[in-house]
Structure 1
Amino acid sequence: MTVRPKVDWRVPSDEWDAFIDFVHGEHGEIQGYVSREVERAMLEWVDGDDYAPVEDLVDQLVRAAGHTPANLTEKKPVTVPPDGEETTRVSCRVDGEVKNNFAAFVKETSDDRLGVALARALRQRCDGGRARRVREKMERVANDAETLLADDGIMLRERRTVRICRRLGEQFTQDDLEDAIAAVAGDSAPTIRDYTEKVLARLEYVEHPRNGDLFISKDDAEDIATDLGAPSPDAPAIDRKPYDSLSRTEKVRGVRIELARDAQTNGGKSQMNATTVRRDIFEDRPSPGHVQDLLRLAGDADGFDVVTRHGKERLRVDLSDVTDLDVLEAACDDLEQTNRADWVRRKCTFLPHKTPDSTGKSAVRDGEYGADSNSDTASVDEQIDNLLAAMPVTDGG
């Protein structure tokens, strides 16, 4: 009988404990199954299992549909314990060829210790491994296939979006994107804007955190932003883009966010005139007339309005009337987000208390815009329940 060699490598203890829990959850016991699952994890990591060619074919289909499979294929990172922190000696037996191929692959592709590389493979196995990845990739193109086979066929703009995506590489510049759009759909400014949004959404690509002219996958951008200490791709555009790269819509939203942030520390209310917006938010970049336009557009949203005082227009916000949860989130990003509705409830504890007036409408009892307002007449829960009842919230964000 062929003797199966032992792995005998030291793996971060947290990762090994999680893997043991996974094996028990899958099989109801661990006796006889640990070695089998370790071997399967190693095979998938080096693309040595029978289904690696299947995933390659699925990747071709995903790319043909104008999507990118890259962020679903990448190896998942694990925490590498500093010297002296707890590790566990894994001492299970696996096929000798599998062990040797795994060790050779790790040596060729990374600087990881074998135990750390094994931990990465085990983490991927716990997360569902190749089966999960293939399923998620197929889900990306299932809707496209259904539309394509429908009686009316796939719509022209969707077909064009797919064709544009197929012209682009793993990363691409703004010029690359505009050239691809022009070649497929035309080069007018509205066409470029429209298809830029569609292509980036389809590929799940965003701007590079340090190079606004380069587009990369959102997962890669998040990793780079973390390493650089830069705003994440999910941060508002006003926080991560230079002024020249902001669209009119992003400028308007940025004005609302900055005013809401000021209100968050000022009793839930604040106001700014065009001069302050131009100087403090946009660093004197736009013209006074352009800022005036942005101010008026920003006032066209729940909780915001434009008033004239002493001959000057001012944008005001009352956070208790704001229904845009993304603006509230950006204004109060110092607290953790869990369930979205619960998050709004906890973050809105600063809102000024309102009570019905003689007409039955809600009225602020104390304080002016820009002044702190405190009231002890009703519970915060009652205030927030009323606010949430008017908000289109969704669980989990």
Structure 2
Amino acid sequence: MNKLRKYFFVMLSMLIVLSFNYMCVFAKETISLKEVSGLSDDTYNEKVPEETRTANYQIFEDNFKSANDYLRYNFSLDFSKMDSAAVCLVRKGYVGARIKVFDEKGNQILQKEVGYRHAKNWGFIDKPSADATICNYTITVTPISYQNKASNFRIIVGDKKDTELMMSGKDNAVLLDEYCESKVNLENNQYVPNVGEYWFKFTKSTRSVITVLSNVYNIHFKVLKASNLFPEYDSSLDNKSHKTSFLGNGPWKCAEKSDLTDIIDFDEYYLVVYSENPQNGLFLKTGTMATAVGNPVMSPGNITISPNIHMKINNSRYTPLYFNFNQITYLPNTAQAIDVNLEDVRLSYVDSWKIKTPDKPYWFTSPPTGYQKIDMNFVKDSLNNVSLNGTWCASIKASSSYKNLTITPSFYISYYYEFGD
């Protein structure tokens, strides 16, 4: 009995010691910053941005709460492992951001911005001296054109050689608004995908025409359902999506374009732009790219139609003249008329004139007194504009000063067409 009682007290003592140690550890792990520093709670009212460290990068993520937000980040670079570092800024939402980078002495060494139509930017910090190792820096972040919408941003710091990869992937997906020609909200980018991918996120609206314009030829895109990354479409498998004509007068060499309005459901999706033939050894492939999901991206154009028909007009009635667009091979199929000018006829000869198109049941009439131009009631993003196809009829009436005239009119037509057609 004495041995049993002694054993019981030994076990009880060990249990008390273990319990005390556990309480001490728990108290240590839950101690507050205020208790450590002796500072008041007011010191920590400002939210500290979250920092994430991966194997290669330092990542800071947050979002703006107001137009007056001012966030600070501290980071270190080990120049014994690199000669130059990249600081990358990604606008994931709709609010622009400005970053400034300061060295340990408080000198500003870098400033970069992203805006509503320009989601990614980057800059470099070179090794400050031959014997430099660990160097400390501070980043400040402020909003540009704040609005009460998604305002997430991401800052990634790492080796310069990984610049593109630091801005690639789903974690850097940029929200895309529905594209409207009336808003001119094309998303622009100053590099093209190479070894990495450029991710966007969008919600299907009424129209889902995807257009990726670039000054390189090997760009494709795929569409993934956001909930499970199921592949819905890949432009590399569609031989009709890669277009190299009707690209306007700008820098574009290629339009990767598909109308997925009837293919994808009303849901959230990722749009992933990628290179068919990546080149190794580049930290970033310079180039220009513009992306839109929604309405087609349009470009202006014009054409002169010369039927070469001598027609007699008088001041008692309208005289018709027919001309056809279908035989013009260099005219975009998606061309939509803006206005029509009567050419090669003196204005003093004409009292008025009008145009009839095959897709409208009414006439477009010029203002009185021989006005040269007819407005075709073009509206951006509308599905009811006048198409340049089929046989048109121009009907012309001479002014009261002329009873009978012979004219050979031409017609100068301004239009918009879809990039890549």
Normalising by structure 1, we get a TM-score of 0.23
**Rg (Cα) greater in structure:** 2
Normalising by structure 2, we get a TM-score of 0.22
Structure showing the higher strand proportion among its residues: 2
